[in-house]
Each structure stands twice: as C-alpha cells, then as structure tokens.
Amino acid sequence: MRLKPLIGVAALLYLVTCSSTLHAQAAPDSNDSATAAQAPATSAPSTPANDEPTPMPRVAPAAYPMQEGFIDSRGVLIYYMTVGRGAPLVIVHGGPGASHDYFLPYLLPLARHNRLVFIDERGSGKSQKLDDPAGYTVENMVEDVEAVRQGLVLGKISLLGHSYGGVLAQAYAFKYQNNLSHLILCSTFPSTTQMNEVFVKMKQKMSPELRARIDAAEKEGLFGHGKDYEKNRYTNDYMIAAWGEGYFPYLYGNKPDPNYDPIAAGIVPWDLYREMWGSHGEFVIDGNLKSVEYVDRLPGIHVPTLIMVGDHDECDPSLSKEIHKQIADSQLVILPNSGHMTFVDQQKIFTTSVIDFLHPNLQKRNAAKAGS
C-alpha cells in the first residue's frame, strides 16, 4: 500500500524554500486583548480632509516555529518534527515505509490549534534503519511512539494515524490508552483478512488486460529481475501496473495529483516493506502485518475516536464502518469524491472535521458568533 512519495518531495521543497518559521494570520491572544482593554481611552482620530477612512492598525502575524530532532527508543533513533501551538497531536504515517513528508503542507492548518508532532517510524524517512528487518514490527513501533511521547514530555496526546499509521494507532491505543485524549483513524483497516478481501474485489474490478498483466508478474515472482541494482525491488512494469493503473483510481478523486509517478513510489526501504507487507505483490498482505486482527479488541477502546475515510478509498469504507461499529460513541466521516489521500482531495473537510473533533467548544463559539 504505497503512498505517493512525490507529495513528500513537494513537502521537502516547500520546507526548504520557506524559513524555519511559518507564519499565519491570527487574532491577538487574550493577554493582548486585556492589555488593550486597560489602555486609557483616546478620542477617535479625525477623518482626513479627503474623506479617506483611517487605516486600521495591522495585527502582527502569528509565528509557528518548527523543531526537529531524534528520540532514542531502546537504541533506535526516531526522528520527529513539531510545529504549532496547543495540546499535542501526534501524527503517524502509512506505507509501511513512507515518511511524514506526504502530510505536508496539507495538515499545516491544524498547527493553529494543536502542536503537531510528526514521526518517521523506525526504518522510514530520517529515522534509524535496522540491520535486522525482523525488528520492523507494529509492536516495536508502538514503543517508538511511546518513547517520543515520553521524550518530549507531551503528557496525554491525541494520536492520528493514516493508512498503515492507523493500524499503528489502534495498536498504541490497545496498550497505552491511558496516555490518549483522542484517537483519529484515517483510511485504515482493523483486519488484514478483511483488507485482503478488499484487494480481491479490487482486482476483480480491473480490466481483464490489466489483471492478466498483474497476475502474470506475480506468478513469475516480483524480485530478482533486471540489472543487479534492480533485483531487490519491483520491476518498473509492475509498479506502473499495480500502483499506477491498479491503485491510482483509489488514491485520489477530487484532486488527482498531476505529478504522481508510480516508479518514484518505489523509492522505499524495501527490506522493511517486504518484512511487513510481504513479497507477493500489492494485492495481498502476507508479511508480519498478517497478524493484524484487531476487530475483537476494538470494543476495548474508550477514548473519543474519529474515523475518516474516502468514499472510494483504497482502504474501502466498509473497513472504517467496521471500526465505527466496534468502538462505542465513535464518529465516522466519509469524505465525498475522495480516495485514500483524503487530506489532499478534501483538505477543508478533513481539517474542519479534525478541528471540530478535537475542539468542540471552538465549534460552539464560532456557531454562536455566526448567530449573533
């Protein structure tokens, strides 16, 4: 389930070309308001002779400094990047083997309300690689998230996981629920068996010609082909067929990425990917993620939970409906005309849904202002 890394490339370029401090318009805080209220009253300035209105004083832009670093998680250095203000919202990415880059710049508006803490999971992005791929497990990555929480002294956190990151977020909730204030599960699955059933149906909907090409490549074996430097990854033809023609209709809807390149999607930590996803193609999970069977454990989650999915998501909406059914009082948002990259296809709906979920009082105040 490879996510589009060119979003990550664009995000890196975005961050490099910008200063390390992000700016956004914001109203003065309560202290500023109080100071203004205590200032002595002055007479209103007279209107100039040419009847032009006096310009309003400018509000200083709010600054959102970025911080990055590494947390030592039992001998593995885990990269983090933070930006924003407020209660911490930890964000874990998909793949497995992608990085936090593909969230940017799309999730930045959330930084106005929360301190965003992006993590690159072990073996991914800027985090440390392992000599032994057997160390790439959901359970170990749960401990990495907890190490970041402790290392940054975050206290209780909200946790957002997208795609495979949603699997990781569920696993974290099972073990460390007391450390959570909110849980947000985006375009994910609670059961590898159910996800594999979705892949079977996905193949059935393909054109016979595309399905035949994919089946033939998988039957022949997907690794060991081409030049020596090509043998430990999918062939270009398979990447185009599986990720380009097969997956693309389920990745985007409203805003398909014009720069999407299925071959560039193959720039991944392949040892991690094969250990966790498996080596038999994109339409079956048979690596160590086959142990993910969480449906019966979901009723044990009691923190406020938001579930979001695209209406034609690669992780079919039926999977999110199952999670919603199992977690009492959870909220389910199905984003229209949206694939797996919901925060790209429907950025405004995605952002508003998260903010309203994490800050219900803010929603009420805005509604009151609108009605006044």
Q: Which residues are identified as catalytic?
A: 163, 313, 340
Q: Which residues, other chains included, contact 290 with Cβ-Cβ below 8 Å and sequence gap of 6+? A: 192, 278
Q: How many angstroms separate the CA atoms of 135 and 45, rounded?
A: 69
Q: How crowded is the C-beta side of 338, counted as CA atoms within 13 Å?
A: 23
The string of DSSP letters for 201-239 reads HHHHTS-HHHHHHHHHHHHH-SSS-SSGGGTTS--HHHH
Element (H, E) at 335: strand 331-335
Structural contact between residues 111 and 85, judged by C-beta atoms closer than 8 angstroms? yes
Q: Where are the alpha helices (DSSP H) in the chain?
A: 5-17, 30-38, 138-151, 164-176, 192-204, 208-220, 236-239, 248-251, 270-276, 317-326, 342-345, 347-358, 360-371
Angle between helices 208-220 and 192-204 (to 10 degrees): 130
